[in-house]
Chains A and B, each alone.
Chain A
Amino acid sequence: MHGFTMLPQSQLRPLLDAYAHAVATRRRIVLAGAVLVLAAAALSAVGAEVRPHVFWANLGNFGSYFDRLTQLDTGARVWADPVSWYWGLRRWSVQLGQTLLIAYVGTVTGAALGLAGGVLASRNVTPFRALRFAAVRVLEFARTVPDLVFALVFVVAFGLGPLAGVLAITLHTAGTLGKLFAEVIENIDMKPVEGVQATGGAWLSQIRFGVLPQVLSNFASYGLLRFEVNVRGAAVIGFVGAGGIGQELIVAIRRFYYSDVSAMLLMLLVCVMAIDLASERLRSRLLAGDHGA
């Protein structure tokens, strides 16, 4: 007929039945999952006091908020008069610079601590079992507590200003990088380490000459990635008084200085994107160099 022969009905039937059964079972599982998710969504909608009518009624506010963001006090559009839009350019630049420095210093210090923590927390090179357990727990704690919460506590302890921000970012970075570093170290080739050990090298020289050369480019790439995240983090850490442009931004938002808000947000956006781009280049160079070696 068509160049192929159909199985006789008596043999085809059970196969088709089995197929229908398999599909039906899968459908049931998917359906049950969907119902579960929807039920959870409904429950949390009650918990989160979702009010769709308020949302619809005020959705216009959302549009007009952005409209007001692009308006100067005089009513003119911001791009018509960039000079008065960016009246505080010098001040904001200084604060943006401070934010970048907070992110940088916090990332570097955090990476150094994370390196120490990562070495201690990795299964294959840690000197003592008990030390490893402690290091893993400390890193976990530093990672789980949001940096803003750290910043809140540090503002009380160290006073208002960038120091609190730097420390908060340092701690959080040490936690996240420490875990990543430990994972990288656990995957290294142990032969160089054994070689150093065989020539009589102490634990520290084993780390220095056996472990570090293998992992450094990987660590640098992770560190850069973390720096990108920390620039964003440093910008909002100012919200609680820990220095940088965030301090100025939240005042502007709270007091409805619309054109200031848009000016600072735009500066921040451009800055973040430039850093993302630069670090993406650097990272691909780092990893490429790694493969070439």
Chain B
Amino acid sequence: MAAALAVYAAGLMMLDISPTRVWHGLGQLGTIAGLMLPPSAGGHFLLYLDALGQTLSIAFLGTMLAAGVALPFGFLAARNVVANRMVHVLARRSLDTVRSIDVLVWALIWINVVGLGPFAGVLAIASSDCGSLAKLMSEAIETADRKPVEGVLASGGGRLMTIRFGLVPQVLPIFASQLLYFFESNTRSATIIGIVGAGGIGLHLYEQMRVLEWQEVAFLILMVLATVAAIDVVSRRLRLAIIGRRGA
């Protein structure tokens, strides 16, 4: 406890954080907050709406693409599907590596490959998510009930059939609800990656901040917040419906 506090104090010193600086900055922040009122689109509402649609498209397509890539990897990394230890460990490690690279770094890499624009954003979200999705999927598969698999085996089913009829029906609802959850969080990520030039509403947000148009910045932030809140509500409903169907 004492050590933790000592590191904290040292951190404050080394990062050059002093009460006066914080106080001064808070004053500035107050001024900025004042300038943000009232939020206004500055006549670019349709442009921003289009960008918001683009952001949603990036999030949706990125999630779907990640799911497509993650599904086979998830099965490969699951202990009860692939018995080979080498494959299992290798799959896990490479997934961990992919997961540790942030979506912004992926965006910068993909911009080099496919150029500036939303397509790079889609690929960035897909790459950064397929690691975590595959990991979650493999965990869901590992915790699945063995009995249906044994049942399929007992009635003469082959290896692929045990996966199709024994495992898939158990894990599909879990996958679907996880995908919805990722879509939610990707809407937020998709906002950010625009800042490095990968399309969507983040690009406008960054530009308006650069030219200190605070009213439009506030408007854009509100647009994002409203969208995220709406998606939260819809996806919570959908998730409940999906999980509920499994219970029935």
Judge whether B206 is part of the interface by a CB distance below 8 angstroms.
yes
Task: Note all chain A residues with C-beta closer than 8 A to B154.
Answer: none
Task: Note all chain A residues with C-beta closer than 8 A to B205.
Answer: 149, 152
Task: Note all chain A residues with C-beta closer than 8 A to B53.
Answer: 47
Which of B8-16, B73-81, B142-150, B160-168 is the contact stretch? B8-16
Distance in angstroms from B165 CB to nearest chain A CB is 13
Task: Give 20 new A-B contacts, CB below 8 A, not counting A48-B199, A166-B17.
Answer: A45-B57, A47-B53, A48-B118, A54-B119, A101-B11, A105-B12, A105-B17, A144-B225, A145-B224, A146-B188, A146-B191, A148-B104, A149-B221, A153-B209, A163-B15, A163-B16, A163-B17, A233-B102, A236-B102, A272-B100
Instruction: For chain B, residues 13 to 61, give those with C-beta under 8 angstroms from any C-beta of chain A.
Output: 14-17, 21-22, 25-26, 28-29, 32, 53-54, 56-58, 60-61
Instruction: For chain A, residues 216 to 275, give those with C-beta under 8 angstroms from any C-beta of chain B.
Output: 232-233, 235-236, 239-240, 243, 249-250, 253-254, 265, 268-269, 272-273
Task: Note all chain A residues with C-beta closer than 8 A to B221.
Answer: 145, 149
Query: Known contacts A156-B209, A272-B100; is A61 also within 8 Å of B113 by CB?
Result: yes
Most chain B beta-carbon contacts within 10 A, residue among A40, A61, A236: A236
Nearest neighbor of B188 in chain A, beta-carbon distance: A146
Task: Note all chain B residues with C-beta closer than 8 A to A253.
Answer: 105, 108
DSSP majority for the B interface?
helix
Q: How many residues of A are in contact with the other chain, CB < 8 A?
A: 59
Judge whether B151 is part of the interface by a CB distance below 8 angstroms.
no
Judge whether B195 is part of the interface by a CB distance below 8 angstroms.
yes
Closest 6 CB pairs of A and B: A44-B57, A47-B57, A158-B25, A157-B28, A48-B57, A48-B118
In whole angstroms, how far apart are the Cα atoms of A31 and B231 in the complex?
23
Judge whether A17 is part of the interface by a CB distance below 8 angstroms.
no
Instruction: For chain B, residues 184 to 209, give those with C-beta under 8 angstroms from any C-beta of chain A.
Output: 188-189, 191-192, 195-196, 199, 205-206, 209
Q: How many residues of B are in contact with the other chain, CB < 8 A?
A: 61
Task: Note all chain B residues with C-beta closer than 8 A to A118.
Answer: none
Nearest neighbor of A42 in chain B, beta-carbon distance: B61
Query: Is A65 a contact partner of B109 (Cβ separation < 8 A)?
Result: yes
Give chain B's interface residues, CB within 8 Å of chain A. 4, 7-8, 11-12, 14-17, 21-22, 25-26, 28-29, 32, 53-54, 56-58, 60-61, 64, 96-97, 100-102, 104-105, 108-110, 112-115, 117-119, 121-123, 188-189, 191-192, 195-196, 199, 205-206, 209, 212, 217, 221, 224-225, 228-229
Give chain A's interface residues, CB within 8 Å of chain B. 37, 40-41, 43-51, 54-55, 58-59, 61-62, 65, 98, 101-102, 104-105, 108, 141, 144-146, 148-149, 152-154, 156-159, 161-163, 166-167, 232-233, 235-236, 239-240, 243, 249-250, 253-254, 265, 268-269, 272-273
